[in-house]
Amino acid sequence: MTLDIALAYLHFIALIGTVGLLVAEMTLCRPGIAGDALHRLKRIDIGFGAFAGATLVTGALRAFWGVKGSAFYLSNPVFHAKVGIFVLVGLLSIVPTIRFIRWSKAAARAEAAPNAAAVASVRRWLHAEIGLLTLLPLLAAIMARGIGRV
């Protein structure tokens, strides 16, 4: 039971960190961003990736070592929806990550900052990620109540 509680806690902290850093990206990524802020954005994105990875790992540990056991999760279509949404968020995050790396490199070479259209494009990707991530706690609450069990 103690292991299950620890895994649940670490999973929640990882997800909260993931969302928090994504919100930080959204806050920092705005028209007029330049210089050191571009480097900060890249570092925040690295943290976002690390927390997302921790969310995935702790979720897998919960599924296989937690009290409910893997059969509870693997037979539940709501669990598959959760994993699918999380993977989709990961795929959506590729475009902003690539842009943040390019912008940081350009800032290091003292090149022009990203234009408003480029920033607006990345913000749309970030909005999509945030929107999808907000579904995960809902799906977790649905699963915790036994909905979707076969």
What does the pLDDT look like over 36-85, one tens digit per residue?
999 999 999 999 999 999 999 999 999 999 998 899 999 999 999 999 99
How is residue 66 written in tokens?
């937690």
Residue 150 clears pLDDT 80, i.e. is over it: no
Count: domains in the chain:
1
Q: Which amino acid is at 139?
A: L
Place of tokens 């059969």: 71
Sign of the C-alpha dihedral, residues 15, 18, 24, 29? negative
Place of tokens 């069990």: 149
Question: pLDDT tier at 21 (50, 70, 90 boundaries)?
Answer: very high
Using a cut of 0.85, tell me whether the model's pTM lies above it: yes
Neighbouring C-alpha atoms within 13 Å toward the C-beta of 101? 7
150 located within any domain: no
Question: pLDDT tier at 148 (50, 70, 90 boundaries)?
Answer: confident
Closest CA relative to residue 45, chosen from 8, 76, 90: 90
149 located within any domain: no
- At 149 the pLDDT is 81
Q: What is the span of the domain harbouring residue 95?
A: 2-144
Residue 120 clears pLDDT 80, i.e. is over it: yes
E strand intervals along the chain: none
Rounded (to 5) percent helix, strand, coil in the chain:
80, 0, 20
Q: How many other C-beta atoms lie within 10 A of the C-beta of residue 31?
A: 13
